[in-house]
Every structure is written in C-alpha cells, then in structure tokens.
Structure 1
Amino acid sequence: MKKLHQPSCIPIAINKHAHYSYSIEKEFEAGLLLKGWEVKALRVGQVNIRESYILVHSKEAFLIGSIISALYIVSPYMQCDERRARKLLLSKQELHVLSNIIQRHGYSVIALSMYWKNAWAKLKIGAGKGKKQYDKREEIKERDWKLEQRRMIKKFIVT
C-alpha cells in the first residue's frame, strides 16, 4: 500500500487576538505535558488558548489560563481540571531567554497557536510587548488601505 503524504503541522487552536493585542518579537516552539483525557480532547479540538499566557517559575515554564474541555466519555472517577497549569517542555537555553524577556518592563509571553507536529502536541509561544490603542488603530487603517488598494487595482484591470 502506498502511504499518502500528510502535512507535518495540523492546527488545533489559533489565538487570533494575540497579534492584534501584542507586537510579537520572538517565537518559540514548546512541547506540552498532558494527561490522557487532555490528548483526547485535543484530537476533538475542544481547546481555547485565547486568554492563556506563559509563567516562568523556578526554571520551569507553565501554560496558565488555557481551557481544555473534558469529553463526555471520560470516566466518572477521574477529576478533570479544565484550567490546570500545564508544564511546557523547553530547553534550558530557551527557558533562560524567556525569563530574561519576562523580566524586561512591559513584555509578556503568550500562546499563539497549538498544533500537532507528527504525533506530538506543540505550542507556539510568542514574546512581545502589548500594543497601545493608537497602535491598534493604525494597524486597522493600514489593513483597510491595503484592501482598498487591491479593490482599485482589480477594478482597473477588469475595466
């Protein structure tokens, strides 16, 4: 039998609000330490990382604020905490860089996306500074102007 080519990175959840609220300067890829019921819930896509952030404490990194909803088929004797802190698997060098970034004034580390890389659940995290309201307005104006330019070019080419 011939194996079909499968993409190496299949998205589970994407934090679309992250790039709107933060100017991301550096990105990292981290593994997740998960329980069995959490992996099953990820396969179904019952995860929300919109309000999650990364906390570095005593040379370990944790994902705080993410919600992984338990499936209805999970055994009744298991206690499923949807909002528990999940440990991130990073190298010592990456942890050192993250702790230095967090110590700088105004910088945050947030979750950008969660995806499957082969059989492993991975989390893309970004370090950046929060945007001010006027930065967000400028971004919206720039996006609208680019859209208007494309419309004008399309109208000019068609006629």
Structure 2
Amino acid sequence: MAKKKKAPDNTIARNRRASHDYLLGETFEAGLVLQGWEVKSMRESKVTLSDAYIQLHQGAAWLHSCHIASLNTTSTHNVIENTRNKKLLLHQAELNKLHDAMDKGGFTIIPLSLYWIRNLVKLKIATGKGKKLHDKRASEKSKQWDKDKSRIMKESRND
C-alpha cells in the first residue's frame, strides 16, 4: 500500500507558551510589513515567537522581539536587525477593539502563530490575560482528566 501524502502545513512558527501562560480571548489575523531577507528566512522557518509581544503605538500595532535569523546568503549591503520591530497590518476597527481590550479589560496582545496564505505571511494574534499559578495548575489538571477520561472510554469500548 502506498504511503499517504502529508498535507502541506503552512505554519512557519508557533508560540506554544501562549495557551499555557495566558487565558486567550478574541483572535485576529494581521499582515506584516517585512523586508525581502525576512521573507526568505521565513521560508526556511528560521523564526522564533516565544519572546515576542505586541504593543499599540502611534495608532498602529507593532510586533517586538520576534527573532528572525538571517540566512548565510543574505546580502552584506543591507543592515540586518534580527529583532527589528515589525508593523502589523490591521483594519482600524480591529485596532480599536485591541485598544479597548488593553485599556478597559487589562488584556495583553499575544502573537500565536505565523503562517502562509498563498504568498503572504500572516500573524495570528489574540487578546489574553496572564494566568496565575493556581490557574495553570487547574488547567493542567483538567487536561489530565480529559486524557484519562478518553483512555477509560476507549478501554471500556474494547472490553
């Protein structure tokens, strides 16, 4: 039997700590203003989102501390900043929602994942509140119970 072909995964990078450290709220999709060498590095998946955060400044959203490693073939004529601040492309209504969530609700804006849509790089962002230690323990306990519950149900079906 022939091996199944794997579906193409358009994900460039994922922030795995986001759901562990934050209670996530509404999600948004934003475009990014990038330079050519950054796009080439993203094609090679040389991006880290773990330390990245988003700030609203001068009526726009900016991605800070997103590390994009440069390729060996990158031109030496360009000044390369691996953690350059990148502007996010959002509609004004989305910016207003994010601004209101930060001001009124005490939410922060967290980058979740970078992915391709056709030839465009998109960033999935979400509003979220930081979890306390007891919240992390409770969510870990509920995840463990869900795993145990599914295992018990599977065993009962097999008997």
Q: TM-score with structure 2 length normalisation?
A: 0.91
**What is the aligned residue count?**
153
Q: Deviations over 1:67-106 (max 9, x none)?
A: 0110010012222101010000011111111111112353
Instruction: State the Cα RMSD in Å.
Output: 1.5
Name the aligned partner's letter for residue 135 of structure 2.
D
Residue of structure 1 equivalent to 2:146: 146
Aligned residue runs from structure 1 range 91-106, under 5 A: 91-104=91-104, 106=106
Name the aligned partner's letter for residue 31 of structure 2.
G
Residue of structure 1 equivalent to 2:110: 110
Q: Provide the rounded CA distance (Å) in 2 between the counterparts of 1:45 and 1:117.
A: 15
Q: Provide the rounded CA distance (Å) in 1 between the counterparts of 2:153 and 2:24.
A: 31
Q: Which runs of structure 1 show a deviation greater than 3 angstroms over 4 or more consecutive aligned residues?
A: none
Aligned residue runs from structure 1 range 38-57, under 5 A: 38-57=38-57
Aligned residue runs from structure 1 range 4-153, under 5 A: 10-104=10-104, 106-153=106-153
Name the aligned partner's letter for residue 91 of structure 1.
H
Q: Provide the rounded CA distance (Å) in 2 between the counterparts of 1:98 and 1:106.
A: 11
Q: Provide the rounded CA distance (Å) in 1 between the counterparts of 2:142 and 2:44.
A: 37
Unaligned runs of 5+ in 1: 1-5
Q: Provide the rounded CA distance (Å) in 1 between the counterparts of 2:135 and 2:125.
A: 22
Secondary structure at the residue paired with 2:88? Answer: strand
| Residue 16 of structure 1, CA deviation | 1.2
| Residue 58 of structure 1, CA deviation | 1.2
Identity %, equivalent residues = 37
Q: Provide the rounded CA distance (Å) in 2 between the counterparts of 1:133 and 1:38.
A: 36
Q: Provide the rounded CA distance (Å) in 2 between the counterparts of 1:10 and 1:46.
A: 14
Residue of structure 2 equivalent to 1:3: none
Q: TM-score with structure 1 length normalisation?
A: 0.91
